[in-house]
């Protein structure tokens, strides 16, 4: 995991800090939650979700189109289009981006 710092004090309990500077910008908290959960599986994913607590449905709805758009912007700034961006392009072509914008606008 790239956004994790662990304590190194010998004999002391292990402490961890999850952080995400994300270019020092401010966004919805759900985007950080999504980024962490994306890299977790099984019990680790369930434990994180339980420890984090409930997520805002409004933020989740806002995050859907923003994640697609920010991913496309990031991909467009690369010298070679990354494969991870192909589903984002497809979301534009097949209308999923438009639908997610409408869901966010309508609040559900």
Can you give the pTM of this predicted structure? 0.68
Q: How many CA atoms lie within 13 A of 99 on its CB side?
A: 7
Residue 27, pLDDT score: 63
Angle between helices 96-106 and 57-76 (to 10 degrees): 140
Q: What pLDDT, in 10s, does the model give residues 24-38?
A: 556 667 888 888 888
- The CA distance from 65 to 102, in Å, is 9
Each residue of 35-72: pLDDT tens digit? 888 888 999 999 888 888 888 899 999 999 999 999 99
């Amino acid at each position: 995991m790239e956004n994790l710092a662990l304590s190194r004090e010998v004999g002391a309990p292990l402490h961890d800090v999850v952080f995400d500077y994300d270019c020092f910008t401010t966004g919805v908290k759900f985007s950080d939650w999504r980024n962490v959960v994306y890299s977790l599986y099984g019990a680790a994913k369930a434990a994180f979700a339980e420890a984090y607590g409930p997520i805002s449905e409004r933020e989740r709805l806002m995050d859907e189109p923003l994640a697609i758009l920010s991913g496309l912007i990031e991909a467009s700034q690369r010298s070679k289009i990354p494969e991870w961006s192909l589903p984002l392009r497809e979301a534009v072509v097949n209308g999923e981006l438009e639908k997610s914008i409408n869901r966010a606008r309508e609040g559900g």
